[in-house]
Amino acid sequence: MQPKDRRELILEQLTINEKIEIEKLVETLNVSAMTIRRDLNILEAEEKIIRTHGGAVLNQPLVNEVSFQIKETKHSYQKRKIAQTAVQYIKDHSTILLDSGTTNLEIAKRLKDKRHLTVLTNDIRIAVELMDSDIKVIVTGGELQNNTGAIFGPLTEQILKNIHVDQFFLGSHAVHMEAGSTAPTFEKASMKQLMIECAETTLLVADSSKFDQKSLAKVCDLSQIDGIITDDGVPTHYIEKLRETCRVIIAEGGDEL
């Protein structure tokens, strides 16, 4: 096997397993530990991996906050498909909580035919979207985050501690098998945790670009939510691993894998 092919295989294994040991690579590729270390040194110099004691992990930067204008233009087709599927799980006469974000905004756009629905949200764009509907809308108080439309802070948290809803649709900046759902700030992570606590069921809505990513602050383990709604862009092997922890619903037709 050529060195280049060997290094590509190492990256492929890291994509699947997230972390790999030198001893395992020696056994799999049938080469010396010195050869593997040389390959890992090259991959680290190319900033593709990070060396660890006895092995390596992929070099994946943390996901930071992005403005609404930027998020709105990214993966819009996938977000619409996710929203179309998510609405199927919302019943008339229920009370739902919509997290801030563009995917939940797409859900809000599809709620106007629902009857006797109450929507709580910490997103002013979602509130404006529902303003001319028959839906009862409750907006959490708090501080407005400029450029995103999200509301957060102590006032928001105080409201969340005193409510109960049927369903919560959790938005996520990053979703990872081990790290769970994460957010760019501790304040946002804390608020999302309260949202999960006040809901009877929680469905995470995230397009495929959010997966195998990490942000700064942990929101929850994937075992703490009732399901994930995403698009068919998530690799099959990743979906299979996710299914070991929670329900996964694919937006393409709403089929569960």
pLDDT on residue 255? 44
Q: How confident is the model at residue 62 (pLDDT cuts 50, 70, 90)?
A: low
Kindly report the backbone phi and psi dihedral angles of residue 11, in degrees, each rounded to the nearest multiple of 5, phi listed first.
Answer: -65, -40
Q: How confident is the model at residue 124 (pLDDT cuts 50, 70, 90)?
A: very high
Question: Which two structure tokens, joined as six digits, stand for 141?
Answer: 């108080």
* Neighbouring C-beta atoms of residue 151, cutoff 10 Å: 22
| Three-state DSSP state, 162 | coil
Q: Average model confidence (pLDDT) for the chain? A: 88
User: Is pLDDT above 90 for 180?
Assistant: yes
Long-range contacts of 156-161 (CB under 8 A, 24+ apart): 156/122, 156/191, 157/190, 157/191, 157/194, 160/191, 160/194, 160/195, 160/197, 160/198, 161/194, 161/198
pLDDT on residue 18? 67
Give the Cα separation of 181 and 171 in Å (integer).
Answer: 9
User: Is pLDDT above 50 for 140?
Assistant: yes
User: Is pLDDT above 60 for 144?
Assistant: yes
pLDDT on residue 56? 87
Higher pLDDT, 182 or 112: 182
User: Is pLDDT above 70 for 256?
Assistant: no
Q: How confident is the model at residue 147 (pLDDT cuts 50, 70, 90)?
A: confident
Higher pLDDT, 55 or 171: 171
